Amino acid sequence: MHGLSSFACGPTRDLLTPRAITRNEELYTEPGKFNPERFVGKMDSEAAHQVDAIFGFGRRVCPGKAFAEANVWLLMANIVATMNIEKSIDEMGRQITPNPEYIGSFVR
Structural domain range at position 50: 6-92
pLDDT, tens digit (0-9, with 9 covering 90-100), for 31-78: 888 877 777 766 666 666 666 777 877 777 888 888 998 999 999 999
Residue 100 lies in a domain: no
**Cα 22 to Cα 35, 74, 84, distances in angstroms:** 12, 24, 32
Residue 83 lies in a domain: yes
Residue 107 lies in a domain: no
Separation of alpha carbons 36 and 75, rounded Å: 18
Length of the chain, in residues: 108
Residue 57 lies in a domain: yes
Give the global pTM: 0.50
Residue 77 lies in a domain: yes
Q: How many domains does the chain have?
A: 1
